[in-house]
């Protein structure tokens, strides 16, 4: 919880300011923690004394002193954070509860070892690679990355060979580097700092005359795999907590997971979670952006009614006002602009997202989708393939966007292969039927048309293909529609 310029981390039992521990006596911290768990509620003095001091007989003077200690620690001289309610008790009411670094996973990237050396890091690549990884991870706003000195001190303390540090990381990133001529082998590991368990590990080998290009390519892959595993680990830690007790940050994290699902109620549940996050923090820009994206998804993206698209653009604009440097807000605005057929603005916002975080595979892939929608299919596919190489364990929606781009590029066989990997429904069957028909698979195309009629007799594949995909050039839309019309002609 953000308390003025301090962050209260209940899980780790710390009050922090700029990453450093703010000293607070035990009873005062217990009082602050109890009030935080009752955030926004007035708690009576008797309840506070009972909760903090238990069966020990104390007067209200002890409570008053603890309150003074808390206000001093928070620099809350005007009592804007910890308020006294006359004749009732106290209430913790922070003026701003924006997601803080204290609510995010704290990551320490430790200098990578020289795989050839028994001690030290004689090869400069070993130390510079770790710094490169840390710099790239810092571009992801979902993580808090410790600087090199703090990360190393925290690692030494965890190994029992150094003094205690103020900030305790949740995860360590370790690894080794072996260079032999123009060949480079890098091993990376993600370790749970609390349990000391290995969460993920992978090795990468590449060769080439330009060592920096090789190192850069491996760094892309390492960073994306790390972020994917860090998000999964954070979700496992919060999964057991009841939804009503989660902070806005955790609500958004869980909502994103639901949004990536394909069950019938996933989108509605995700929308409810995003809105719950906004109710906790009306200034949470990313939550506003995702509300726009989910509503656009439910309405069918390019097929969404004009009023829905306008509403999504308005909310995405609010998100960008609140979080102008959050790349996902720009990505979502790009999707809203695509739905409005404002292709130039869509490309602008997607490029802005890529400028802010060029190491994110999802942004790279979606930039490829925007280029494909603008008629630059091969350029788009090149970016998509690069994103897949960087993040091979990608989400399923990659197959949909790539299938559309392959179809537009007249590579019907590859398009059908990509689309066959998706969970099916009338929209997916319409695309697949067009690709199979163009590729000469008559039986497969007819089976898709049969499945559409069986699952939703009122669904119009031609209407969907004509309005649901935001191609800038009319000939690309007609090319898609004509693919399904071949299927209809076969039936006759």
Give the model's pLDDT for residue 234: 67
Tokens of 177: 């580097």
Q: What is the pLDDT of residues 289-305, one digit of tens each?
A: 999 999 999 998 988 99
Q: Left (φ > 0), alpha (ψ -120 to 50) or beta: where does 19 sit?
A: left
- H or E segment and range at residue 178: strand 171-180
Find the range with the poorest average confidence among 96-110, 207-221, 470-484: 96-110
- H or E segment and range at residue 44: strand 43-44
DSSP string, 209-249: S-HHHHHHHHHHHHHHHHHHHHHHHHHHHHTTS-GGG--HH
Instruction: Sketch out the chain's domains with CATH numbers.
Output: 2-92 (1.10.10.10), 101-236 (3.40.50.10070), 359-491 (1.25.40.10)
Q: What percent of the chain has pLDDT over 90?
A: 40
Give the model's pLDDT for residue 236: 61
Burial per residue of 465-486, b for 16 or more beta-carbon CB atoms within 10 angstroms, e otherwise? bbbbbbbbeeebbebbbebbbb
Give the model's pLDDT for residue 109: 93
* Beta strands 113-114 and 171-180, pairing class: parallel
Q: How confident is the model at residue 417 (pLDDT cuts 50, 70, 90)?
A: very high
Per-residue pLDDT averaged across 68-97, rounded? 82
| Range among 125-139, 160-174, 253-267, 460-474 rated most confident | 460-474
* Beta strands 6-9 and 2-3, pairing class: antiparallel
Q: Residue 362 in contact with residue 227, Cβ under 8 Å?
A: no
What's the CA gap between 384 and 457, in Å, rounded? 34
Per-residue pLDDT averaged across 164-181, rounded? 84
Q: Indicate whether this model's pTM tops 0.85.
A: no
Q: What is the pLDDT of residues 14-26, one digit of tens each?
A: 888 877 788 888 8
Q: Residue 102 in contact with residue 9, Cβ under 8 Å?
A: yes
Length of the chain: 492
- Residues whose CB falls within 8 Å of the CB of residue 133, separated by 6 or more in sequence, listed in order: 109, 173, 188, 219, 222, 223, 226
């Amino acid at each position: 919880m953000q308390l003025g310029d301090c962050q209260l981390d209940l899980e780790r039992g710390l009050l922090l300011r700029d990453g450093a521990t703010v000293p607070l006596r035990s009873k005062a911290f217990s009082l602050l923690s109890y009030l935080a768990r009752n955030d926004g509620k007035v708690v009576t003095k008797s309840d506070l004394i009972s909760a903090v001091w238990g069966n020990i007989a104390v007067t209200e003077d002890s409570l008053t002193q603890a309150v003074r200690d808390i206000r001093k620690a928070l620099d809350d001289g005007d009592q804007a954070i910890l308020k006294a309610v006359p004749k009732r008790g106290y209430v913790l009411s922070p003026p701003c509860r924006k997601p803080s670094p204290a609510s995010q996973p704290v990551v320490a990237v430790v200098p990578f070892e020289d795989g050839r050396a028994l001690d030290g890091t004689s090869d400069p690549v070993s130390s510079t690679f770790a710094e490169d990884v840390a710099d790239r991870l810092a571009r992801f706003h979902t993580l808090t990355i410790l600087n090199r000195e703090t990360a190393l001190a925290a690692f030494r303390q965890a190994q029992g060979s150094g003094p205690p540090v103020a900030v305790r990381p949740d995860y360590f990133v370790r690894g080794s580097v072996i260079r032999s001529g123009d060949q480079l082998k890098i091993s990376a590991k993600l370790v749970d700092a609390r349990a000391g368990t290995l969460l993920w590990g992978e090795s990468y080998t590449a060769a080439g005359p330009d060592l920096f290009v090789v190192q850069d390519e491996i760094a892309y892959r390492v960073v994306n795999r790390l972020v994917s595993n860090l998000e999964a680990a954070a979700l496992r830690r919060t999964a057991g907590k009841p939804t009503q007790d989660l902070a806005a940050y955790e609500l958004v994290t869980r909502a994103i997971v639901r949004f990536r699902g394909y069950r019938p109620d996933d989108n509605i549940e995700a929308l409810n979670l995003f809105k719950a996050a906004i109710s906790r923090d009306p200034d949470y820009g990313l939550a506003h952006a995702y509300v726009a994206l989910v509503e656009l998804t439910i309405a069918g993206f390019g097929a969404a009614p004009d009023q829905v698209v306008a509403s999504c653009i308005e909310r995405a604009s609010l998100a960008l006002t609140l979080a102008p440097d959050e790349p996902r807000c720009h990505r979502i605005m790009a999707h809203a602009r695509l739905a409005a057929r404002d292709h130039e603005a869509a490309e602008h916002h997607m490029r802005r997202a890529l400028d802010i975080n060029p190491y994110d595979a999802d942004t790279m892939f979606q930039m490829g989708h925007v280029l494909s929608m603008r008629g630059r299919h091969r350029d788009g596919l090149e970016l998509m393939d690069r994103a897949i190489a960087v993040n091979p364990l990608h989400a399923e929606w990659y197959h949909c966007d790539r299938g559309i781009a392959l179809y537009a590029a007249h590579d019907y066989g590859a398009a059908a292969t990509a689309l066959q990997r998706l969970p099916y429904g009338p929209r997916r069957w319409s695309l697949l039927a067009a690709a199979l028909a163009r590729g000469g698979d008559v039986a497969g195309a007819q089976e898709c048309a049969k499945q559409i009629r069986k699952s939703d007799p009122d669904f119009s594949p031609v209407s969907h293909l004509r309005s649901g995909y935001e191609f800038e050039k009319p000939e690309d839309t007609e090319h898609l529609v004509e693919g399904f019309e071949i299927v209809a002609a076969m039936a006759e």
